[in-house]
Amino acid sequence: MLGRVSVSRALAFRGVSTTAVKKDYIYYPGYMMSIEQHKNFLEHPNRNHDNYESFLLPFPQAPKFADKDPELNALREKAKGDWGALSLEETNQLYDGHFRYRYYRYQQPTDRWKFYLGMAFLNIGLASIMIRVFGIMEGHAHPEYYSDPHFMTEYIKRGLQINAGHLRGLSTHWTFPNRFLASPFFTE
């Protein structure tokens, strides 16, 4: 017997996104207008040229549409009176006549930051590889005596003899309960 045939969410989303991508070069779902929607908005005869709405300025000073639409003008006059007389559809139509997007669309995050961060890390990585390769090409290398055990013991002995990096300051006079900090610099 055959089981139930169902379409997975990923496959359904892929179908939706591919139908949207057929018309546009890049499709940003739910965040920005597609290229075709933006073109239709710019060519709209009632578009207000003073309108500017962006992610940083979500409340435009000028409405999206001007006063050439009689239905929208009637709604605006009706809204000047009692807001309770407006139905939900009229309120949404009035909102869409003033704002370009719904407010929740400004809160939807994108993954654009990953591209810019990836480009920065790519450049840092390529610069590091180039510095390493150019250093090898120039013949730069660590001196051979850095890996010699006799040199390292003498180097450490010299550092101890000249008291390099010794403890000084007020904290050297504190009495710590830790035995590992016992030294002649600590007073008891």
SS3 47: strand
Vertex 19: Cα angle to 105 and 44 (nearest 5)? 60
User: Cα–Cα distance between 53 and 32 in angstroms, integer?
Assistant: 12
Tens of pLDDT, residue by residue, the chain (188 residues): 555 656 565 555 555 555 555 555 554 444 456 778 778 878 888 888 788 877 677 788 888 888 888 888 888 888 888 888 889 899 888 888 888 777 666 666 777 789 999 999 999 999 999 999 999 999 988 888 888 999 999 998 998 888 887 777 776 777 665 555 555 554 54
Q: Tell if the pTM clears 0.85, that is, is over it.
A: no
SS3 65: strand
User: Cα–Cα distance between 42 and 40 in angstroms, integer?
Assistant: 6
Q: How far apart are the first and last CA of the chain?
A: 87
